[in-house]
Amino acid sequence: MTTRTPRILVLGTGGTIAGAGSGGTGTAYRPGGLSLEVLVGHLAALGLAAELVPQEIARIGSQDIGWDEWRALHAACTAALADPAVDGVIITHGTDTAEETAFLLDLTLPTHKPIVLVGAMRAADAVGADGMRNFANAVKVAGDPAAAGRGVMLVMGDAVLAARDARKAATSAIDAFRSFPRGPMARVTPSSLDWFGPAHRLGEGARYGFPESSPRVAILTAGAGMDEQPVKALLGIGCKGVVLAGMGQGNAPASVIAALAEAAASGVPVVRSTRVDEGIVDRNVEVDDDALGLVAARALGPAKARMLLMVLVANGVTDARRVQAAFDGG
Ligand code: GLU
């Protein structure tokens, strides 16, 4: 148990939680308009039992995040994990791609200290802003020794979601995130934290090396009546992997599936996920994955399937059986 006040590194990247310029009731605002120092200052004024150490990585809308920011976040988290004076890490992040950053870090960092992403759906100066509450909740989680051994987490709307399960499901509602296939790991408020189960990844090291390269992996969304030309175009620009956001259980018109099978046969791994909001994509349902060399995304939606495939390709894992094993793993 930590007996002293927890020391938490706060890595800022921008997003609505640091959004400003809404004028209280306006719609437009600038994500990342507020500096991390100011944001952390607002929180410190609440008198939470934690020492917060801010470090700004970026001040962007998370639609613009990429390998430079991910590399910086990974390096800062790695340093914090090795520093005995740091108990946990919070990353303030835009909600558009929070699930991608959270999952990338989840795949490439060990689990022995809590790492928590947090965002907001309303700008910091908007009426009814949710950012300070979410941030206070994140402090509660990152400062709890029982939060270690659970992988990277996302705190939004009084819930703690596992990185692998979290998904943005609403464009502007406060209750914007869903957790699939597992529900939330905990409920949290600024003064309470209830875990629904024991830490399931205690002592786990990083699952994969952080990508040295940034392989181009594309998501292709299936639509009724489409043909195979988009698959050919993706291979033409040098994609090293393709994620199909298919219909239903990862389906697409026959010519598209045939072109994807050709890609797989040429050594470009192809993962079938679904454009449907939620559900498992299983192997060999309507598409003969065994015969065509394709991979089923299981519970991962297209955005997270792409992230896992990029990590796998960067780590030299392209064989369909090994890629499938990574998608099967919890
Ligand atoms: N598009 C911006 C971002 O993801 C704002 C959305 C948000 O943070 O909720 O950073």
Indicate the top mutation candidate among 22, 60, 95 to test ligand 1's pocket, ranked by most ligand atoms within 8 A of CB: 95
Whole-angstrom Cα distance, residue 317 to residue 321?
Answer: 10
The answer to whether the CB of 220 falls within 8 A of the CB of 305 is no
DSSP 32: T
> Domains of the chain (ranges plus CATH)?
7-195 (3.40.50.1170), 217-328 (3.40.50.40)
Residue closest by Cα to atom 1 of ligand 1: 61
H or E element that contains 9: strand 7-14
Cα within 13 Å of Cα(104), Cβ side: 25
**pLDDT tens digit at each of 330 positions of the chain:** 446 899 999 999 998 888 777 777 777 777 778 888 888 888 888 888 899 999 999 999 999 999 999 999 999 999 999 999 999 999 999 999 999 999 999 999 999 999 999 999 998 888 999 999 999 999 999 999 999 999 999 999 999 999 999 999 999 999 999 999 999 999 999 999 999 999 999 999 999 999 999 999 999 999 999 999 999 999 999 999 999 999 999 999 999 999 999 999 999 999 999 999 999 999 999 999 999 999 999 999 999 999 999 999 999 999 999 999 999 987
| Alpha-helix residue ranges (DSSP H) falling in 16-164 | 36-44, 67-82, 98-108, 131-142
| Alpha-helix residue ranges (DSSP H) falling in 147-272 | 229-236, 254-265
Q: Say yes or no: CB of residue 62 within 6 Å of ligand 1.
A: yes
Strand, helix or coil for residue 141: helix
Indicate the top mutation candidate among 13, 27, 63 to test ligand 1's pocket, ranked by most ligand atoms within 8 A of CB: 63
Q: Say yes or no: CB of residue 121 within 6 Å of ligand 1.
A: yes
Q: Say yes or no: CB of residue 61 within 6 Å of ligand 1.
A: yes
Q: Say yes or no: CB of residue 192 within 6 Å of ligand 1.
A: no
Radius of gyration of the chain (CA): 20
Q: Say yes or no: CB of residue 15 within 6 Å of ligand 1.
A: yes
Q: Which residues contact 224 (CB under 8 A, 6 or more apart)?
A: 247, 253
**What is the distance in A from the centroid of ligand 1 to the CA of 169?**
13
Torsion, Cα of 145, 148, 153, 157 (10° steps): -20
Q: Residue 294 has what pLDDT?
A: 98
Query: Which sequence positions are flagged as catalytic?
Result: 16
295-296/241-246 β-pairing: unpaired
